[in-house]
Amino acid sequence: MYVLAAIVSLTLLGLLLGFLLGLAGKYLKVESSPLLDAIEALLPGSQCGQCGFIGCKPAAEALANGNAPATICPPGGSALAEQLALLLGLDLDLSDVKEPELLVARVSEATCTGCTRCFKVCPTDAIVGAPKQIHAVVADACIGCKKCIDVCPTECLQMHAIEVTLRNWRWTKPVTAKAEVNTMGEALC
Amino acid sequence: MLSFFNPLRIRGGVHPEAHKTATANLPIVTDFPLPKKLYIPLQQHVGKPAEPLIRVGDKVLKGQLLAYSQGMISAPVHAPSSGTILDVNDYPAPHPSALPIRMIVLETDGQDTWMLAPTVNDPFQLTPEDISLRVGAAGIVGLGGATFPTAVKLNMGREAHIDLLIINGSECEPYLSCDDRQMQERAEHIIDGVRIMLHSMTTTNAVVAIEDNKPLAFLAMQKAAQSFAAITVMQIPTRYPMGWDRQLIKYLTGKEVPVGSRSSEIGVTIHNVSTALAVHKAIRYGQPLVSRVVTVSGGAILRPLNIEVPLGTLIAELFTFCEVKTDAVARIIMGGPMMGDALPHVNLPTVKATSGVLALTQSELKNTEEHPCIRCASCISVCPAGLRPLDMANNIRMNQLDAAVDIGLKDCISCGCCSYICPSNIPLVQYFKYAAGEVAARQQAQHKSEQTKRLIDARAARFKRIADQQAAEEQVRLAAKAARSHQLTTDSDTSTILGSRLAQQSEVDAH
Ligand code: SF4
Ligand code: SF4
Q: How far apart are CA B387 and CA B68, in angstroms?
A: 41
**Minimum-distance ligand to the CA of B14?**
2
CA end-to-end span of chain A: 102
Domains of chain A: 34-88 (1.10.15), 103-161 (3.30.70.20)
Residue B491 has pLDDT above 60, yes or no: no
What pLDDT score does B402 carry?
A: 87
Q: How far apart are CA A28 and CA B396, in angstroms?
A: 48
The amino acid at A85: A
- A65's CB contacts (< 8 A; 6+ apart) are none
CB of B475 less than 8 A from some CB of A: yes
Tell me the count of A-B CB pairs closer than 8 A.
177
Q: How far apart are CA B307 and CA B322, in angstroms?
A: 10
> Of residues B10 and B38, which shows the higher confidence score?
B38
Q: Do B328 and B302 contact (CB within 8 A), yes or no?
A: no
Contact B162 CB / ligand 2 (< 6 Å): no
Q: b or e along A135-167 (b: 16 or more beta carbons within 10 Å of the residue's beta carbon)?
A: bebeeebbbbbebbbeebeeebbeeeeeeeeee
Cα–Cα nearest to B29, from B317, B414, B262, B457: B317
What pLDDT score does A97 carry?
A: 64
Could you give the dihedral angle defined by the CA atoms of residues A131, A134, A139 and A141, in that order, rounded to the nearest 10 degrees? Answer: -10
What pLDDT score does B453 carry?
A: 82
Contact B33 CB / ligand 1 (< 6 Å): no
Residues B193-209 pLDDT 10s:
999 999 999 998 999 99
Contact B396 CB / ligand 2 (< 6 Å): no
Q: b or e along B214-224 (b: 16 or more beta carbons within 10 Å of the residue's beta carbon)?
A: beebbebbbeb
What pLDDT score does B473 carry?
A: 92
**Ligand 2 atom 5 nearest Cα:** B383
Q: How far apart are CA B292 and CA B169, in angstroms?
A: 16
Annotated domain spans of chain B: 126-286
- Ligand 2 centroid from CA B446, angstroms: 27
CB of B120 less than 8 A from some CB of A: no
Query: Strands B268-272, B164-169: parallel, antiparallel or unpaired by DSSP?
Result: parallel
Within 391-430 of B, beta carbons closer than 8 Å to A belong to 396-402, 414-416, 419-420, 425, 427, 429-430
Cα separations (Å) of A28 from A20, A21, A22, A25? 11, 10, 10, 6
**Ligand 2 atom 6 nearest Cα:** B415
Contact B70 CB / ligand 2 (< 6 Å): no
Residues B18-58 pLDDT 10s:
899 889 899 999 999 999 999 999 999 988 999 999 999 99
Cis peptide before B149 (omega within 30 of 0): no
User: Hey, are the CB atoms on B341 and A188 less than 8 Å from each other?
Assistant: no
What pLDDT score does B436 carry?
A: 92
Hey, of B366, B452, B476, which one would you mutate to test binding to chain A, going by the most A CBs within 10 A of its CB? B452
Report the mean per-residue pLDDT for chain B. Answer: 89
Residues B209-241 pLDDT 10s:
999 999 999 999 999 999 999 999 999 999 989
CA dihedral sign of residues B182, B185, B188, B189: negative
Point out which residues pair with B271 in neighbouring strands. Answer: B167
Contact B343 CB / ligand 1 (< 6 Å): no
Residues on chain B touching A186 (C-beta within 8 angstroms): 365-366, 368, 416, 419, 427, 429-430
Distance between B224 CA and the closest CA of chain A, angstroms: 35
Q: How far apart are CA B317 and CA B335, in angstroms?
A: 17
Hey, of B367, B456, B468, which one would you mutate to test binding to chain A, going by the most A CBs within 10 A of its CB? B456
Residues of chain A with pLDDT under 50: 177-189
Residues B92-141 pLDDT 10s:
999 999 999 999 999 999 989 998 888 888 999 999 999 999 999 999 99
What pLDDT score does B34 carry?
A: 94
**Cα angle, residue A11 at apex, residues A5 and A12 outer, rounded to 5°:** 90
Give DSSP secondary structure letters for A24-40: HHHHSPPP--HHHHHHH
CB of B456 less than 8 A from some CB of A: yes
User: Hey, are the CB atoms on B425 and A123 less than 8 Å from each other?
Assistant: no
For a ligand 2 pocket test, name from B10, B415, B430 the mutation site with the most ligand atoms within 8 angstroms of its C-beta.
B415
User: Hey, are the CB atoms on A185 and B482 less than 8 Å from each other?
Assistant: no
Residues B234-292 pLDDT 10s:
999 999 898 898 889 999 988 888 887 888 888 999 999 999 999 999 999 999 999 99
Residues B322-379 pLDDT 10s:
999 999 999 999 999 999 999 999 999 999 999 999 999 998 887 778 899 999 999 9
Can you give the pTM of this predicted structure?
A: 0.77
What pLDDT score does A96 carry?
A: 59
What pLDDT score does B292 carry?
A: 94
Q: How far apart are CA B332 and CA B316, in angstroms?
A: 11
Q: Do B47 and B75 contact (CB within 8 A), yes or no?
A: yes
Q: Print the SS3 string covering A137-172.
A: ECCCCCCCCCHHHHHCCCCCEEEEECCCCCCCCCCC
User: Hey, are the CB atoms on B446 and A79 less than 8 Å from each other?
Assistant: yes
Q: Print the SS3 string covering B257-302.
A: CCCCCCHHHHCEEEEEHHHHHHHHHHHHHCCCCCEEEEEEECCCEC
Residues B130-178 pLDDT 10s:
999 999 999 999 998 889 999 999 999 999 999 999 999 999 999 999 9
Contact B378 CB / ligand 1 (< 6 Å): yes
> How many beta carbons lie within 10 A of that of residue B14, not counting itself?
21
Hey, of B46, B399, B447, B486, which one would you mutate to test binding to chain A, going by the most A CBs within 10 A of its CB? B399
Residues B304-324 pLDDT 10s:
999 999 999 999 999 999 999
> Considering all CA atoms of chain A, what is the largest pairwise distance in Å, rounded to the nearest integer?
102
Contact B394 CB / ligand 1 (< 6 Å): no
Q: How far is CA B476 from the centre of its chain?
A: 65
Nearest CA in chain B to A44: B449
**Ligand 1 atom 7 nearest Cα:** B390
Within 320-349 of B, beta carbons closer than 8 Å to A belong to 331, 333, 335, 337-342
Nearest CA in chain A to B463: A120
For a ligand 2 pocket test, name from B239, B428, B434 the mutation site with the most ligand atoms within 8 angstroms of its C-beta.
B428
Residues on chain B touching A172 (C-beta within 8 angstroms): 434
Contact B139 CB / ligand 2 (< 6 Å): no
- B101's CB contacts (< 8 A; 6+ apart) are A166, B41, B42, B43, B49, B90, B91, B93
Q: How far apart are CA B294 and CA B319, in angstroms?
A: 12
> How many beta carbons lie within 10 A of that of residue B377, not counting itself?
12
Q: Do A69 and B477 contact (CB within 8 A), yes or no?
A: no
Question: In CATH, what class is B126-286?
Answer: alpha beta
What pLDDT score does A188 carry?
A: 40
Query: Which span out of A42-51, A162-171, B3-12, B500-509 was modeled with the highest average pLDDT?
Result: A162-171
ipTM greater than 0.90 = no
**Ligand 1 atom 4 nearest Cα:** B376
What pLDDT score does B193 carry?
A: 96
Give percent of chain B above pLDDT 90.
Answer: 70
Q: From the DSSP assignment, how many helices (H) and strands (E) are in chain A?
A: 6, 4
Cα–Cα nearest to B438, from A173, A146, A21: A173
> Of residues A103 and B4, which shows the higher confidence score?
A103
What pLDDT score does B3 carry?
A: 43
